[in-house]
Amino acid sequence: MSATHQTGHRARLKARLNKDATQLADYEILELLLGCVLLRRDTKALAKALLQRFGTLRGVFDARPDELMSLEGFGPSLILFWRLLREFMARCEEAPVRRREVLCTPEAVARMARARLAACPHEELWIALTDHGNRLIAWERLRQGAVGQVSCTPREVLETALAHKASNIILVHNHPGGSAHPSGPDLQLTREVARLAPALGIALVDHVVVTEDACYSFARDALL
């Protein structure tokens, strides 16, 4: 596609977006996103290749950097743009912290965590800290680990809760590409925090393990 033709094609897509965004096909949405970085390139072929490889827009959004880079034409500048998009979406999902909404179900916790961790290739342990009404006070990463594990001590968990004057703790971590079922170390950390927290006037109300499409709740499984 010539540069002139490409400019005209993108202008027509933008006009359709402005008129009725719902009428754009998934690959056309991707074309426009890619065009924010690849200003002078035809992005239709790359958009279609991404959808063919990852199936859906969500699949493209959640793909790991190494998977994206395996497609011809997806270079470092697009990886940086994708990181920006992910960070933007993660902060949108974390907006309940700003509004101090109540985290009342494991699914609500998992939804917030998944926005942050969906494409993460390694385990991370996060902590949601809430007040007596289970309204969010803070949402922070405690530890970043390896592909199959992340280590943290009960002391680190409790010190973080005390620093924020929290009443309740919800631990959250991901299992990249695996089952949401907790491991032995997951169980041990949960039991230790649950045992020690009450002496400090704090309660561990749940530990949620998330994968790309599932979540496991210690509280729901009566392990707390």
Same domain? 75 vs 103: no
Same domain? 112 vs 65: no
Same domain? 112 vs 195: yes
CATH of the domain at 134: 3.40.140.10
Same domain? 68 vs 48: yes
Same domain? 135 vs 203: yes
- Residue 132 within a domain: yes
Same domain? 39 vs 66: yes
Same domain? 79 vs 142: no
Same domain? 117 vs 70: no
The domain of 139 spans 95-217
DSSP the chain: --HHHHHHHHHHHHHHHHH-GGGS-HHHHHHHHHHTT-TTS--HHHHHHHHHHHSSHHHHHH--HHHHHTSTT--HHHHHHHHHHHHHHHHHHTTHHHHT-B--SHHHHHHHHHHHHTT-SS-EEEEEEE-TT-BEEEEEEEEE--SS-----HHHHHHHHHHTT-SEEEEEEE-TTS-SS--HHHHHHHHHHHHHGGGGT-EEEEEEEE-SS-EEETTTTT--
pLDDT score of 125: 92
- Residue 223 within a domain: no
Same domain? 87 vs 111: no
- Residue 224 within a domain: no
Structure confidence by residue, pLDDT tens digits, 32-69: 999 999 998 889 999 999 999 999 998 898 898 999 99
Same domain? 53 vs 152: no
pLDDT of 122 higher than 90: no
Structure confidence by residue, pLDDT tens digits, 63-98: 989 999 999 999 999 999 999 998 898 887 776 655
Q: Which of 91, 107, 136 is the last residue of a domain?
A: 91
Same domain? 86 vs 99: no
pLDDT (average), residues 1-12: 72
Please give the share of the chain, as a percent, with pLDDT higher than 90: 50
Domain total of the chain:
2
Same domain? 171 vs 114: yes
